[in-house]
Amino acid sequence: MRLPWLRPAEPSPPTHEDLVRRVALGDEAAFEELYDAVSPQVFGLIRRVVRDPAQSEEVTQEVFVEVWQQAARFDADRGRAVSWILVIAHRRAVDRIRAAQASADRDLRQGIKEFQESYDDVQDIVEAKIEGERVLKALESLTQAQQEAIRLAYYGGYTQQEVANLLKVPVGTVKTRIRDGMIRLRDKLGVA
């Protein structure tokens, strides 16, 4: 039984999930704290997919405004706040490049080049980032062809048809590579 004069231990800093809960109640300070904590991961992902720095900034803004709006709908029982935000970020990043594409077709050659660069980046993942490491490891357990297709689709934001064009293989092959690779990734990551 706790004696009245004993103070509880120093409260631990709020988790991201706590912050989102407070954001849902309109707490701007909590929002700012959340922004500071997760914006580098969000911006990193968006820049990878969108590539253009100015547009990446815009998309990042959109994402955080959406986080503010939708915070009440986050359910911590189902996953981490960062994952939730990153899912929103990927969707908006892909939205953005597909929109750009409608007006000016993206240069696929350029795509390949950037893809190779992005591949190099992936190798540079900060060691300390446990998830990053796990993801990298899991990705490396796929065949080269599977990795390539998944990286182009996720990090490049390309549709499966575009991936097929880039790799000069039939789209059916791409579908299979992506699916087989994702199944392996799922099993490696133990997410399902």
Among 19, 30, 89, 142, binds other proteins (CB under 8 A): 89
Exposed, middle or buried by CB within 10 Å (0-12, 13-18, 19+), for 132? middle
What CA–CA distance (Å, rounded) separates 56 from 2?
A: 52
Residue labelled with tokens 């900060």: 126
What lies within 8 Å, CB to CB, of 9 at 6+ separation is none
Rounded to the nearest whole angstrom, what is the least distance from the CB of residue 114 to other proteins in the complex?
14
CB 89 within 8 A of CB 45: yes
Q: Tell me the HSE value of 158 on the side-chain side, using a 13 A CA sphere.
A: 29
Among 100, 112, 145, 169, binds other proteins (CB under 8 A): 100
By beta-carbon proximity to other proteins, the closer residue of 10 and 124 is 124
| Alpha-carbon separation of residue 81 from 2, 42, 69, 76, 87 (angstroms) | 33, 12, 14, 7, 10
The one-letter amino acid code at 155 reads Y
Among 67, 142, 166, 167, binds other proteins (CB under 8 A): 67
By beta-carbon proximity to other proteins, the closer residue of 3 and 89 is 89
Q: Segment 145-184, which members bind other proteins (CB under 8 A)?
A: 150, 153-155, 157-161, 163, 174-176, 178-183
By beta-carbon proximity to other proteins, the closer residue of 3 and 50 is 50
Q: Applying CB under 8 A, does 21 fall inside the site for other proteins?
A: yes
Q: Applying CB under 8 A, does 58 fall inside the site for other proteins?
A: yes
CB atoms within 10 A of CB 65: 10
Q: Applying CB under 8 A, does 10 fall inside the site for other proteins?
A: no
The one-letter amino acid code at 162 reads E
Residues in the chain: 192
By beta-carbon proximity to other proteins, the closer residue of 65 and 108 is 65
Rounded to the nearest whole angstrom, what is the least distance from the CB of residue 5 to other proteins in the complex?
25
Contact region for other proteins (CB under 8 A) — 5-13, 32-40, 104-112? Answer: 32-40
Q: Applying CB under 8 A, does 77 fall inside the site for other proteins?
A: yes
Among 3, 5, 13, 124, binds other proteins (CB under 8 A): 124
